[in-house]
Structure 1
Amino acid sequence: MDTLCYSGLPLEEQRAAFLAIVLADPLLRDALARARTLDLPDWLVVSGALYNSVWNHLTGKPSGYGIRDVDLFYFDDSDLSYEAEDAVIRRAEKHFEGLPLPVEVRNQARVHLWYPQKFGRPCPRYSNASDPVCYFASKTHAVGVRYDADRLVLVAPFGLDDVFSFRITPNRVMDNQQTHEVKGARARECWPEITVVPW
């Protein structure tokens, strides 16, 4: 397969190809089906598991190759306590038992409470699960998918051309240079076709 066969196509064609690849991947199909039945408010599977699976498909690598975990965002501002989020995380552990990769579940309504302590700088207070996707260190990573009724919906604020062009492009909205470079270097080890655009 031509690895760049979707590069440069109109967004609607890229969206259709992206969602078809996601649904054809057994790991993602199972993760999304389980996420749907976990019944979290405003949920979204984001980032690496998605774009890595697209790269695996286009380069002929097996499902799950190069993927560390599945990131599952949800948004619930009714209780911002650690305990409430921890209860959801523990429920999710049982719900996703048997999936070949761990699922990391995080309430995006709480991020502004712990982010400054962990990363030494503030982050915005998000208003839904899609907001944080706009702040990822690389525009390429800013993708999310969820079910809306029986339809798979894509969140991709910067489009999909970077993903389909094997290009990791910085998102300079926050000071995330180190994350961009570290993730870019790791991705190149797994998919040498990738170009990392300098910060």
Structure 2
Amino acid sequence: MLGRLPLVEQLDGLRFALSQNEVLTDVLNRATTMDLPGWYVTAGCLFQTVWNVVTDRPPTSGIKDYDIFYFEGTDLSWEAEDAAIKAGRKVFAGLPAEVEIRNEARVHLWYEQKFGVCCPPHESTEAAIDSFAATTCCLGVRLEAHGAWRIYAPHGLSDVFNLVVRPNPVLAPREVYETKAARWKDEWPELTVLPWPG
């Protein structure tokens, strides 16, 4: 199993699996034209592509959207973020999927109202990725100069390849984790969902 291979081979396996999703590779390539600071394609479109490849499903199966996080801390206005979102609509026009662009420097301004817990300001896109409800989700990819892949995976890749969903109780409440995990389990019944710590 890929999840038991040395990390360098897991990275090769990740690039191979993600490359099977042509929508994802198109999003990665188009995102490079936007000049978003500290950007990553992140969250479900990544680990769900891997789950699809590992379980012999079509690579785009069950993927709701494609998330792009970036970090711009000098202008925290909604207007600045909305300008990036509107620019993205043009860049990603014609794709058979929704692309969501979010400035992670602004998350603390709305998180408590949406999820009921206070979110300290993030210091980077990576810090935002660190706070996902499941460690399995903590994954970001972007293309850099000459097509090199930058991969951020603070918890490694073994759980992603081994179809394990593991809670990450650093920010998101338990119900957020359990709701997401239940939805994923319905779509990918092969998953092993680990319980929220007692």
Query: Following superposition of structure 1 onto structure 2, how do residues 25-44 of structure 1 map, counting pairs within 5 Å?
Result: 25-44=21-40
Q: Percent identity?
A: 46
- Could you tell me how far apart the structure 2 residues matched to 1:120 and 1:193 are? 31
Give the aligned length. Answer: 195
SS in 2 for 1:146: strand
- Structure 2: where are the runs of 5+ without partners? none
Whole-angstrom distance in 1 between the partners of 2:67 and 2:58: 19
User: Which string of whole-angstrom CA distances, capped at 9 and with x for unpartnered residues, describes residues 77-136 of structure 1?
Assistant: 121101110111111111111111101100011111111222221112111111111111
**CA contact under 8 A between 1:27 and 1:63: conserved in structure 2?**
no
Of 133, 149, 157, the residue aligned with 2:154 is 157
Secondary structure of the residue aligned to 2:32 is helix
What letter corresponds to residue 57 of structure 2 in structure 1? K
Q: C-alpha distance in 1, partners of 2:116/2:149?
A: 36
Give the 3-state SS of the residue equivalent to 1:110 in structure 2. helix
**Does the CA-based 8 Å contact 2:41-2:140 persist in structure 1?**
yes
Matched, 1:101 2:97: yes
Name the counterpart of 1:71.
67
Which of 123, 144, 149 is the matching residue for 2:140? 144
Structure 1 residue runs of 5 or longer lacking an equivalent are none
- Structure 2: how far apart are the matches of 1:122 and 1:43? 24
Which residue, 177, 180, 197 being the options, matches 1:183? 180
- Deviation of 1:38 after TM superposition, in Å, equals 1.6
The amino acid that maps onto 1:196 is V
User: Cα 1:59–1:175, aligned 2, differ >3 Å: closer, same or farther?
Assistant: closer
What amino acid sits opposite 2:25 in the alignment? R
Q: TM-score, normalised by structure 1?
A: 0.94
**1:127 paired to 2:149:** no
Q: Single out whichever of 45-54 and 17-26 deviates more from structure 2.
A: 17-26
**What residue is the counterpart of 2:41 in the other structure?**
45
How high is the TM-score relative to the length of structure 2? 0.94
Contact persistence 1:46–1:70 (CA under 8 A):
yes
Change (3 A) 1:113 1:11: same
Shift of 1:175: 4.6
1-structure distance, mates of 2:173, 2:10: 27
Q: CA deviation at 1:148?
A: 2.1
- The code of the aligned residue for 2:3 comes to S
Structure 1 runs (4+) greater than 2 angstroms displaced? none
Pair 1:111 & 2:80 matched: no
Matches of 2:131 and 2:173, distance apart in 1: 9
Distance 1:24 1:188 in 2: 22
Pairwise CA RMSD of aligned residues?
Answer: 1.1
The question of 1:55 aligning with 2:51 is answered yes
Residue 187 of structure 2 is aligned to residue 194 of structure 1: no
Secondary structure at the counterpart of residue 37 of structure 1: coil
Aligned to 2:164: 167
Matches within 5 A, 1:15-34: 15-34=11-30
CA, structure 1 residues 17+75, in 2 after alignment: closer, same or farther (shift >3 Å)? Answer: same
